[in-house]
Structure 1
Amino acid sequence: MANNENAELEELIRNAGNGAPSPVIESGFEEESSGFDVTTLLMVARRSVPWIILLILLGVTSSWMFLRYTKPTYKSSSTLKIDEKQEAGALGLGQTLGGAEGLQTVNNLSGEVELIKSNLIYRQLKDSLNLDVNYYSQGTVLEAELYGTSPFHVEYDVQDSRFYNTRFGVLFTGPETFQLTHEKNEEPREYRVGTPVDLGGAKVVITKTRHFDEDVVNNNYHFVINDDAAINQYFDDNLSVEIVNPEASTISISFTDHNLRKAHDIVNRIDTVYLLAKLSKNTQGQQQIMQYLDQQLELTRDSLQRAEIALQSFAKRAKMYDVRGGVATITQQLEGQEKERQALQRRLELLTSVARLTSREQISRDENTGVEQSVPGLALLEDPVLTQQIAELNLAQQDLRRVLRSNTEATEAVQQRRAAVEYAKRNVRESLEQSLRVVREQLGALNQQRDKLNSELQVLPQRETERARLQRPFDLYEKSYLMLMDKRVEYSIAKAGTTPDFQILSPASMPSAPISPVRLIVYAIGLAGGIFMGLGLVATRYFMHNSVTNIRELERNSIAPVLGVIPTYDKEKLLVSRLVVDKNPKSAISESIRSIRTNLEFMASSKKKRLISITSTISGEGKTFVTVNLAGIIASSDQRVVILDLDMRKPKVNLAFGAENVKGISTILIERHTWQECIQHTSIPTLDFISAGPTPPNPSELILNPKFDEMLSELHQHYDVIMIDTPPVGLVTDGILIMRKADVPIYIVRADYSKKAFLKNINKLVRTNGFTRLATILNDARSSGLYGYGYGYGYGYGYGYGQGYYEDTQPRRSWWQRLRKQFS
């Protein structure tokens, strides 16, 4: 790998020898630097692992807290099959409604759904389940409803409506005493069990139940008295009635509540109450039909009795009953005409009855009969057009009654149905008037024929004529009476077999687990939320990551070659940079700097005398530390090295060696001292340094002074390597002036400190100023940042501002120290 790096370095120098970097290098760099950095992402993810674990724990804890402080909700449901029957079918009139049967079946299910959710069912539920008072036990966190298990029972008489839907606190201080609190009472008072308590607008009596035991004493309970509106709202919010399968006429009834037993009992009770309501509805319709049949039988019976009495009187008075043979033919004709006339008369009566029924103006919501149910002999009209119109009128009336059950007279739906009924009535009236006119004309014609025959019978005995006249109404009333009797017997038989027109396919189920919250789903959401936030944290830290952390990032974002990496090494904390390679010659930091010294040999191998400048973008990136320790490593190879501190605005080299800064570069350039007078020696015999000297007002002008070049020339005669600690090029221009004179300019980048934007300054120096030999060093790199250089010892150095140095025998950190390091 070292050979490949050296080859790439030499190729870069050759391409840049013409004064500008290679376009191939520039395009390759730009293309690579704009890509996705997997190494940085993995580094960010590794450092975020403790936070990810913390966020996942936070998500799971949030799920646990949600489950801990949320009441579970249970659901109980049942399935019913509706089999609605038509009352006209029991009267033998079902064939006339065949065309409307399908429409009624479709509308029937929606009507049954509204019936179940009506106040009629709600009132019976309140009366049968005692839902007007709710009892609760106060737990540590949540309250629990004591449905059916309350240790006490409350009887109340509320005069002031403000006592409804409010909380009454109960605390049993003994087996027979309790304290009752309410928001209207300033202080709780003690009462005896079974004694009426007058609260000034409400009276309550609290008695014990079979669930009362010694554990009830000193426990907090409360109850709420609900008014009708609150109970109805409770049903509306929790009751659900849905059509499951319209073709099979099945509906589902479900109820949700925090108490599973309460939900189960309510669904069971709804099924029972609905059964009673349907039976009551069917019985009411049957009673109305039976009442109509009884009225018609009574009227026909009276007419038949009068006809019988008339025949008996005639027989006694005439003392004869046989018809003469001479008038047999005429009598037969008269009888045939009379039959036809009677049929027309019956039809006229039936039309008249229908006209009377259709003339009714209003229809109430409780009516269950129409024209067809009220007129059993409607089929005798023998008028298909009129029959169809009556059927349409009946359907319109049924639709109006269905809408009236759930709407008022002022609603648009009721007004539209009434308009449809009136329209159907007008059609029926027009047909009835036309039929009545035709029947009357036919009766007139028959009367004319009868008069003609009677004139022929004038010669016949008047008594025979009178007998025949009396016989005809008797036969008519007798036939009508027998027909009505048959219908009454048939309907009585049908009434005796009346059953509910629905079946319970699936009774109410006892909930085994709450429908919400589902523990598995809640924990899954918490876990997924923690993971998502952890991934979001990694993504955010990755996109906000703007500092150089490893050698890979330095290579991707800079076109200058990398001389090496100096690892982090923490031991003693130092306030300033110092020479440490002489004290730890076998440490990882010494080995890394020796590698940098070897790489320097390739960059200036043809020169025995070398000038090396070391700079950085800003202060604090470690250029002084690298300068003194690299100089120490070079000096240890039997080369004479001198360090020049040209950072005259902020000198640090003298601090690294613990020397004074009374004289130095600034005094040499103004010719106050010679360089020999300013030379200071170190612990390494071949390593000397010249401090910056007093800070001058014009450091840049001093560097441009020809005296500076003379000083360098004289130093080259006595030293093999001149190391210059230059000012940061990101702050002042002094460093660029010095880098132009250097054989190998070195740029220091500090891991986790230098911004990626600083690397653009390196590229600018190479492109604009033609620093083709410019090289970089990654300083203060952790083991994860030593990618590609093999310094994975886990040891390093620190410098300046609280950084320290450790020997290779650094003790292993505890898990808590490592975890805290991750969060820092």
Structure 2
Amino acid sequence: MDSREIEQLLAEETLDFKKYVNLVLRYWYWFVISLAVCLGLAYVVTRTTHNVYQVDSTILIRDDKNRANTGAEALLSELSLVNNTKSIQNEIGIIKSYTIAYNTVKELDSFHTTYKQLGKSGFKQNVVYKNIPFRIAYDTSYNNPHGTSISIEFTDGKTFTAKVNNGDFSDPKTIGQKVIIDNFSFTVIPTASYSEKELAGQTYIITRNDLNELANVYRNKVKVNLVDKNASLISLSTTGQSADQEAEYLNKLVEVYIRQGLEEKNQIAKNTIDFIDNQLFGMRDSLQRAEVQLRNFRMNNRILDIDKESSMLLDNLKNLQTSKATVEINQRYYAYLKNYLQKRDSYSDIVAPYTLGINDMQLINQLNELSQLSTERENMKMSVKQNNPAMQQLEARIRNTKNALMEKVNSLIATNNITNDDINAQVRKIESNISSLPINEQMLINKTKMYDLLDKMYTYLLEKKSEASIAKASNISDCKIVDPALAINAELKQPKPKMNYALGFILGLLIPLIVIILRDYFDNKIRTVKDLTGKLPEVSMLATLDHSQLPVDIPVIERPKSRLSESFRTLRTNINYVAHGKKCMTLLTTSLISGEGKTFCASNLAAIYALSGKRTLLVGLDLRKPKIQKVFESTNHYGMSGYLSEQNSFEKAYKPTSVSNLWIAVSGPIPPNPSELIGSPRMEQFLAEAREQFDCIIIDTPPVGIVTDARIIFEKVDLVLFITRMGVSPKDVVEYCKELHSYLGSKLALVVNDFDSKKSYTSYSKYHYRYSKNYQSEYYEN
């Protein structure tokens, strides 16, 4: 590949900006229409779109880094089973949960019914939240199903008609009068914003909302995101037609979330207090009885104290009783825990082991894990079904953790029993020493031992209860409102007139531009001269024949001053220059496909040569679809097929026409073997004789892209005129011409037919059109 071919290839692959600029200028009215339509649509969208506002709120979730480490907080941390360090993602999931959304809309009475005012156009429905001129009071003795719409049309400020869904309107009613339609019964009651003048002629659509559906709507549209990944600030936002309504929802949502968090934290302390109270209840009477018995024994036996040896034994026994009290409390907690795991399915409110001084880390970690998995399951239930694979996987983890925890509890119970047995053995040893003491001292030691044991246990539990009560009383929320939702700070999200009109303007320009580019890209027809000359620089283009709507077959004869006739004169001049010095020029016209005007070009070219005084012979060698005889209104007898098949002589093969110096050799009757006839020696003999008698021979042949007839005599002519037609010739003609040029060389020349300078978009075409238009009256006919 040489440098010229490379440059040509690069030129073909480069986008022709000038071409597309001319195309845009040519189809300017497309852009005007497109801009009008798109800007009109932007106007309609702006006018009919509901106002949508975005309301925002910001809250802070306290964690270990930003929580004040007060005594109450530290105590609550000890009472809590789950670590107080908040998982921000978990909190976001809770805020977005269905339960929170449902509780929020349930507490907002104004959300239970939606009021919309119908716009003047009849299409736009505007939500009315504040300053509602009336309200609907439902009769609870009727069904009044949720999700049903009531349309109320006010004829004046007091009278109205109503209908349910798409039913018929009721008889006229007045404000305050009960309306009964199907399963609905309600009364229209005026509010403080009521005005007869403003209400007259208005239409309202009232919907009794289903709280479950409303909760799902808000759950899906509330956006909860971290303000910064390194902070625990959370932003909440929602959108709706009423900024006041959305702000009220967000504020109530945060309120419900804070209250629920406090309730969960208080429940931890309450469970601890309840557990301790249950233990104290069974111990209180026993302690009182032990105290009374000890006091009565001392009074009755007049024993105030014991001797030194007995005192030592009693001190040892008290130490063992203290250990036994701890083991006893642990045993009761393990029993409670085992019973809880066997009977309960939710594990988020288990009393923490450190409440009673149990610090087994394996037990604590397993309880933490089980509680967290239980909380995760409760949150997941709000968004997925039970048969969801993720839920089933979570249930399996909970079962495995629970089974491991049960094994741990059973192991602790067994260990605790061993410890208890060991303490009892030591107690029995001391008791055996005590048995050697006097009977009164033995009895005093035993009663003292029982009282001290119960007293230590009771006092220990009272201390833990007091700690839990203090924690509950001083409990605060882990959530702090940083910025409440305010309607005054709401951002208008829709409509955005500037953006709509800008988008309409851009689309108005872009749509026709894309259409033009795609139309040009997929267009397989030759549209400009550059489509040929730009890709076939090696092939000469002899002329561009102007487009004409003249109703004649040979305009060079009947309209000699037309632009088309002048185009053929230009073609004749260029041919004479190329074939300079030839005594008799032999020209051949062909094309790639039919319909490109080769017969028209051959006929007019022959006529224009005849007008110049040259004896011209036009040969109709399209033996398959003869046309020459129709152009010159002649018969198709004899002709070329007769001569080539040796049925008539050379003199009978052609005939004169009404045009001076012009003879035609018609195609003759259609033969069965046109290609063979054209390739026969008779064809060479015909051309030899014709060259002796004529100055110019023009041969009209069939399309070279369809049949091979023209190729047969290429080597017998001086010049091959390849006819192309604007808007008809396919772009494949370029590759075909390249192939022909490879062996015809300079004998191949292009002629562009039906060139319309008005429709073309090259600078040459525009210049040609303006020049022709300016001088048409002086030089040309219409």
Shorter-normalised TM range: 0.7 to 0.9
Aligned to 1:136: 116
1:579 to 549, 552, 556: 556
Aligned to 2:421: 440
Report Cα offsets for 1:550-605 as digits up to 9, x if no partner. Answer: 1661574486533344445x6x8443322379964xx8767766655554444444
2:245 to 244, 253, 262: 262
- Letter of the aligned partner of 2:769 in structure 1? G
- Letter of the aligned partner of 2:210 in structure 1? D
Aligned to 1:346: 325
How much does 1:34 deviate? 10
Alignment of 1:558-637 (within 5 A): 560-568=539-547, 573-579=550-556, 584=561, 596-607=571-582, 609-611=583-585, 613=587, 615-617=589-591, 618=594, 621=597, 624=600, 628=604
What SS does the corresponding residue of 1:347 show, helix, strand or coil?
helix
Distance 1:32 1:160, change over 3 A: farther
Matched, 1:175 2:157: yes
What SS does the corresponding residue of 2:581 show, helix, strand or coil?
coil
d(CA) in 2 for partners of 1:236 and 1:222?
24
Matched, 1:275 2:275: no
How much does 1:178 deviate? 1.4
Matched, 1:512 2:491: yes
CA contact (8 A) 1:63 1:522 kept: yes
What SS does the corresponding residue of 1:105 show, helix, strand or coil?
coil
Aligned to 1:388: 361
2:212 to 206, 222, 229: 229
CA contact (8 A) 1:365 1:401 kept: yes
CA contact (8 A) 2:318 2:452 kept: no
Matched, 1:697 2:679: no
Report Cα offsets for 1:219-255 as digits up to 9, x if no partner. Answer: 2221222223322332333234456678755544333
d(CA) in 1 for partners of 2:558 and 2:315?
145
Distance 1:42 1:542, change over 3 A: farther
Distance 1:331 1:532, change over 3 A: same
2:138 to 142, 156, 164: 156
Matched, 1:641 2:614: yes
CA contact (8 A) 1:300 1:477 kept: yes
How much does 1:267 deviate? 0.9
Aligned to 1:794: 769
Matched, 1:198 2:173: no
Report Cα offsets for 1:120-157 as digits up to 9, x if no partner. Answer: 65134323243222222223233222233433312224
Compare 67-76 and 259-268 and name the one that shifted more: 67-76
Report Cα offsets for 1:610-644 as digits up to 9, x if no partner. Answer: 345463435662765676578658966xxx32344
How much does 1:438 deviate? 3.1
Alignment of 1:401-480 (within 5 A): 402=375, 405-406=378-379, 412=392, 413=394, 416-417=397-398, 420-421=401-402, 423-457=404-438, 462=440, 471=448
Compare 161-170 and 81-90 and name the one that shifted more: 81-90
1:502 to 466, 479, 488: 479
d(CA) in 2 for partners of 1:759 and 1:405?
74
Report Cα offsets for 1:367-394 as digits up to 9, x if no partner. Answer: 7341537xx5435xxxx6xx33553464
Report Cα offsets for 1:455-513 as digits up to 9, x if no partner. Answer: 2446xxx4x66556555555566666655555555554444433222212343354313
1:781 to 755, 765, 772: 755
How much does 1:343 deviate? 1.7
What SS does the corresponding residue of 1:455 show, helix, strand or coil?
coil
Aligned to 2:23: 47
- Letter of the aligned partner of 2:23 in structure 1? R
d(CA) in 1 for partners of 2:143 and 2:505?
45
What SS does the corresponding residue of 1:793 show, helix, strand or coil?
helix
Distance 1:602 1:29, change over 3 A: farther
- Unaligned runs of 5+ residues in structure 1 are 1-23, 682-687, 799-804, 813-824
What SS does the corresponding residue of 1:114 show, helix, strand or coil?
helix
- Letter of the aligned partner of 2:615 in structure 1? V
Compare 285-294 and 270-279 and name the one that shifted more: 285-294
What SS does the corresponding residue of 1:80 show, helix, strand or coil?
strand
Distance 1:220 1:466, change over 3 A: same
Distance 1:677 1:500, change over 3 A: closer
CA contact (8 A) 2:636 2:667 kept: no
How much does 1:732 deviate? 8.9
d(CA) in 1 for partners of 2:763 and 2:637?
41
CA contact (8 A) 2:617 2:664 kept: yes
How much does 1:726 deviate? 3.9
What SS does the corresponding residue of 1:145 show, helix, strand or coil?
strand
Aligned to 1:20: none
CA contact (8 A) 1:173 1:218 kept: yes
CA contact (8 A) 1:563 1:600 kept: yes
- Letter of the aligned partner of 1:337 in structure 2? N
Distance 1:33 1:782, change over 3 A: farther
CA contact (8 A) 1:567 1:796 kept: no
CA contact (8 A) 2:79 2:269 kept: no
CA contact (8 A) 1:363 1:401 kept: no
- Letter of the aligned partner of 2:90 in structure 1? S
Aligned to 2:147: 165
What SS does the corresponding residue of 1:508 show, helix, strand or coil?
coil
d(CA) in 2 for partners of 1:417 and 1:306?
45
- Letter of the aligned partner of 1:793 in structure 2? H
**Normalization by structure 2: what TM-score?**
0.75
How much does 1:778 deviate? 3.2
Report Cα offsets for 1:409-430 as digits up to 9, x if no partner. Answer: 9975457536634542442333
Report Cα offsets for 1:24-44 as digits up to 9, x if no partner. Answer: 99x988995897176988546
- Unaligned runs of 5+ residues in structure 2 are none
- Letter of the aligned partner of 1:531 in structure 2? L
What SS does the corresponding residue of 2:182 show, helix, strand or coil?
coil
d(CA) in 2 for partners of 1:378 and 1:136?
61
CA contact (8 A) 1:590 1:633 kept: no
What SS does the corresponding residue of 1:150 show, helix, strand or coil?
coil
- Higher-Rg member (1/2): 1
CA contact (8 A) 1:351 1:436 kept: no
- Letter of the aligned partner of 1:424 in structure 2? L
d(CA) in 2 for partners of 1:63 and 1:119?
41
d(CA) in 2 for partners of 1:523 and 1:165?
39
d(CA) in 1 for partners of 2:458 and 2:215?
51
Alignment of 1:121-132 (within 5 A): 122-132=102-112
Give identity over the alignment, percent. 18
Report Cα offsets for 1:42-91 as digits up to 9, x if no partner. Answer: 54663355276355766666666655655565443433333479999869
d(CA) in 1 for partners of 2:653 and 2:292?
165
How much does 1:179 deviate? 1.0
d(CA) in 2 for partners of 1:733 and 1:250?
83
**What number of residue pairs does the alignment pair up?**
740
1:534 to 499, 513, 523: 513
**Normalization by structure 1: what TM-score?**
0.72
- Letter of the aligned partner of 2:178 in structure 1? P
What SS does the corresponding residue of 2:132 show, helix, strand or coil?
coil
Compare 175-184 and 444-453 and name the one that shifted more: 444-453
CA contact (8 A) 2:525 2:728 kept: no
CA contact (8 A) 2:113 2:207 kept: yes
How much does 1:209 deviate? 2.7
Aligned to 1:3: none
- Letter of the aligned partner of 2:253 in structure 1? I
CA contact (8 A) 2:152 2:204 kept: yes
Distance 1:792 1:622, change over 3 A: farther
Distance 1:29 1:591, change over 3 A: farther
What SS does the corresponding residue of 1:189 show, helix, strand or coil?
coil
d(CA) in 2 for partners of 1:451 and 1:545?
118
d(CA) in 1 for partners of 2:507 and 2:766?
39
